Structure 1
Amino acid sequence: MTDPGPPRAFAAERVLVVAPHPDDESLGCGGAIASVAAGGRQTHTIFVTDGGASHPGSATWSRERLAAQREVEASNALECLGAADHPRSFLRLRDADMPAEGTALWREAESKVVEIVSDFRPDLVLLPWRRDPHRDHRDGWRLVTAALAGQRPLQLEYAIWLDELGAAGDRPRSGEMVECRLDITPYQAAKRSAVAAHISQTTNLIADDPQGFRLTAATIERLTGTEEIYWQPCGR
């Protein structure tokens, strides 16, 4: 099902953006962030993991150095989107190794998200897709939805890897979601600049790990068109 009128959702005054890794905020929600910022409204971006697992074979970029670099890139990307002065939080959970649900580390992270939600009071939350093929996206969804228990902000979900890596069962089921499309034509250039700001993921900055992760041109092109697609749970 497609909702022809998503502007109601994106007129929210306070938008909480949940990015499993630094770069997901730009790839998935860059247009929405830029639109909110241009309208004089507020975003708060939660970066769930540290992003430190993308180049495990590098001898010159330790996990800690890479994680610090990715935080700088995240801030640069938000600046590209007009959100340089908007709040952001880095939970710094281990990329590709988030704590299991219910463990002490999980509960600590959940408490941090509860505090962020309580302070920021979002009326819209942009979440990673609940069945995205990447485990950190699924775990990020579980973590934040647990923290939102009892809260009623509007929730929309965005997919990053579903079209490239997902199985048929990962897609929205009949009657589960309403598709919302946001025209980001005025902000497309800003979104592409924000993605490019993640230089550890888009360039040869880290040159000593041939097997390290790098966003392909095809992935960037797919995710930086003139629309962003979100899903709203039916009945919400």
Structure 2
Amino acid sequence: MVAAHPDDEVLGFGGALALLADAGIRPVLVSVTDGEASHPGSRSPLARELAAVRRRELHQALSRLRARVHRIALHLPDSGVARHEQDLTGRLARLLDGYDLCVAPYSRDLHPDHEAAGRAALAAAAASGVPVWEYPVWAWHWARPADPALPWHRAARIPLTPAAHARKQAALDCFRSQVKPLGDRPGDEAILPPEELAHFQSDFEVIWQ
């Protein structure tokens, strides 16, 4: 599984990760960036420590999902993945060798890092002959119901068990740097306020096949 930032994998596919854990499957999680640039306008001291904060949040979230993953952190620059897309494609192609499926950010998510990571995953998977499931994250912010800009003909619904759903909600609570303001100054605002977080609190997840 590929995630552009720590929290994308839980937002878009966390319930499925919980289901995989229940099935005894241990996936590889490739964290492309550390998410250090989520608050570029903030002057909070916490903003200078976001890489470490978000790594800790992800570790706690995966624990709450009970997801046993082999995590590989690439430490590419947050907000700059596109500049490293060719290198990322090559690294993902090597990692995909021997795997049956790649799960990656939606390549038309309208977030530059998500799109670059998604394009790299699609190219790497095509070279390896591995199918790809794309999960939307940012698309839920800008799309409307039945939005023709989204590829609904490729959509698949992953229903979550009550236990997997509950674990995903507990995992989402771990990302305090994203769901709570860093402070009370301009630039400190939550990246995922309640109205945005609500998109990820359903008892199912959607992927594009």
Does the pair score TM above 0.5?
yes
1:156 aligns with 2:140: no
Residues 52-83 of structure 1: CA deviation (Å, up to 9, x unaligned): 111222241354x2111111111111111111
Are 1:112 and 2:97 counterparts? no
Match of 2:187 among 205, 211, 224: 211
Partner of 1:76: 60
Q: What amino acid is aligned across from residue 184 of structure 1 in structure 2?
A: L
Identity within the alignment, %: 33
Aligned residue pairs: how many?
A: 204
The residue number in structure 2 matching 1:61 is: 46
Instruction: Give the deviation of 1:131 after TM superposition.
Output: 0.8
Match of 1:13 in 2: none
Unaligned runs of at least 5 residues, structure 1: 1-16
Task: Supply the AA of the counterpart residue of 2:46.
Answer: W
Structure 2: 5+ residue stretches without partners? none
Contact 1:26 1:195 in 2 (8 A): yes
Task: Confirm or deny that 1:97 pairs with 2:80.
Answer: yes
Secondary structure of the 1:52 match is coil
Please tell me whether residue 52 in structure 1 is matched to residue 39 in structure 2: no
- Does the 8 A contact of 1:132 with 1:166 survive in 2? no
CA contact (8 A) 1:59 1:208 kept: no
Moved over 6 A (4+): none
State the distance in 1 between where 2:185 and 2:86 align: 34
What residue number does 1:34 align with?
18
Indicate whether 1:136 and 2:113 are aligned.
yes
1:210 alignment partner, SS class:
coil
Asked if structure 2 preserves the Cα contact closer than 8 Å seen for 1:182 and 1:228, the reply is yes
> 1:10-25 to 2 correspondence within 5 Å?
17-25=1-9
Contact 1:132/1:170 (CA < 8 Å) preserved in 2?
no
Gap change, CA 1:89 and 1:170, over 3 Å in 2: farther
Structure 1 residue 37: Cα displacement: 0.5
CA apart distance, 1:169: 6.6
1:166, distance to aligned residue in structure 2 (A): 4.4
Which deviations, in whole Å up to 9, do the C-alpha atoms of 1:177-216 show, x marking residues without a partner?
A: 4221011133111011111111111124x22553234211
Would you say 1:193 and 2:142 are equivalent positions?
Answer: no
Please list the CA deviations of residues 152-176 of structure 1 after superposition, one character each: whole Å capped at 9, or x if unmatched: 2231111112132249674227xxx
Q: Which residue of 2 aligns with 1:231?
A: 208
Cα deviations across residues 84-143 of structure 1 (Å, max 9, x unaligned)? x4201111111122242xxxx44433333233223xx32122111121111111111112
SS at match of 1:150: helix
CA distance in 2: counterparts of 1:59 and 1:41, whole angstroms: 40
Evaluate the alpha carbon distance shift between residue 197 and residue 59 of structure 1 in structure 2; reply closer, same or farther with a 3 A threshold: closer
